[in-house]
Amino acid sequence: MRWYDSHARDLPWRVSPQARADGAHPDPYRIWLSEVMLQQTTVAAVRAYYHRFTTLWPTVGDLAAAPDAEVMGEWAGLGYYARARNLLKCARVVTDTHGGMFPQTRDGLMQLPGIGPYTAAAIAAIAFERPEVVVDGNVERVMARLFDIHSPLPAAKPELTRAAADLTPDDRPGDYAQGVMDLGATVCTPRSPACGICPWMDVCAARAASTAAELPRKTPKKAKPTRFGHAYVARRIDGAYLLEERPAKGLLGGMLGWPGSDWNEDPAPAPPLPADWHMIDAEARHTFTHFHLRLRVLVADVGQDAVPETGTFHPIHSFRPAHLPTVMRKVFDLARSEFDNA
């Protein structure tokens, strides 16, 4: 804790140890928002989104009242879009059912949409000072090294969690959780741990055994398969683009996208409207958690009276490419340069 008091990272959602000692309290809304954004995502990627969300919606009630499309649009590019849908659901449950106050316990938090065991423990510890065991990838690495645990992940998770639980204090559990995360992020880093400046250097078993750099061990992951698909980009003569809202369930659920295939088939599906479609000589490539995707892109200029079988035309003044998920933005970038060069 002495190390954390002088080395805590300066994060926009965090109350510094000094401010906390002076009586400041973290805002549970901001802790929750940051923890949801940080799921599978780096601090560097989250900062700008967190700033925009808290500027647009400073309280959980403000977020609960926001239109779905606006929130989904602001989330675009951050990935794992089920998080955005659950974020809204959760904000509305907290506002409508809990009077705008987050539950303070891990079990209470886990009743809310989009909050699993890790996120519930993190919010309970950081926002409400509950002595919960918070174990993310950083903490797993530090525990594996501190106790020189060689069992491979993910099977080693329970063992690493037990080690973390043994160390979690009743006093300042939130700062402790953040301290171990910071240690993993800044000192006990994956490739070259800086043992020489580590507050645990004298007691670290992996340092003593010179095994730190090879820990934690991991069971090799299976190679990701590649899926293929097609995307149709139609531009109307007034500059409007044809987009469709993807089904609420499934990958990119609820986000705007280009009409096309469901990424399971090779032959091009029927276009969303008859036109002189032209296939671009380049693919939009994107990697999701479980597969690589390669999309062939077809473009067409269509008349003002074009009637699509699927989707709606979005006028140029209201179409914001930044509100598209990353893979759809890649498609748009290819289509736009094709239109520009035509």
Please say which residue, 20 or 145, places its beta carbon nearer to ligand SF4: 145
The residue range among 117-125, 172-180, 186-194, 301-309 that interacts with ligand SF4, by the rule CB under 6 A, is 186-194
Q: Note the Cα 226 to chain centre separation in Å.
A: 22
User: Least distance from C-beta 144 to ligand SF4, angstroms?
Assistant: 9
- CB contact burial 9-20 (16+ within 10 A = b; e otherwise): eebebbbbbeeb
Tell me the C-alpha distance between 141 and 139, whole Å.
5
Q: Residue 213 in contact with residue 279, Cβ under 8 Å?
A: no
The interface with ligand SF4 within residues 211-270 (CB under 6 A) comprises: 212
Please say which residue, 191 or 317, places its beta carbon nearer to ligand SF4: 191
The interface with ligand SF4 within residues 141-160 (CB under 6 A) comprises: 142, 145-146
- CB contact burial 233-248 (16+ within 10 A = b; e otherwise): bbbbeeebbbbbebee
Does residue 26 bind ligand SF4 (CB under 6 A)? no
Interface pick for ligand SF4 out of 33, 36, 198, 251 (rule CB under 6 A): 198
Does residue 187 bind ligand SF4 (CB under 6 A)? yes
Tell me the C-alpha distance between 164 and 43, whole Å.
22
Q: Residue 40 in contact with residue 118, Cβ under 8 Å?
A: no
Does residue 195 bind ligand SF4 (CB under 6 A)? yes
Please say which residue, 84 or 139, places its beta carbon nearer to ligand SF4: 139
Q: Which helix (H) or strand (E) holds 283?
A: strand 278-287
Is-catalytic flag, 74?
no
- CB contact burial 277-303 (16+ within 10 A = b; e otherwise): beebeebbebeeeeeebebbbbbbebe
Q: Which two tokens stand for residue 322?
A: 């930044």
Please say which residue, 135 or 198, places its beta carbon nearer to ligand SF4: 198
Please say which residue, 19 or 194, places its beta carbon nearer to ligand SF4: 194
The residue range among 154-162, 203-211, 232-240, 256-264 that interacts with ligand SF4, by the rule CB under 6 A, is 203-211
Show which residues are catalytic. 35
Residues at the interface with ligand SF4 (CB under 6 A): 142, 145-146, 187-188, 193-195, 198, 200-201, 204, 206-207, 212
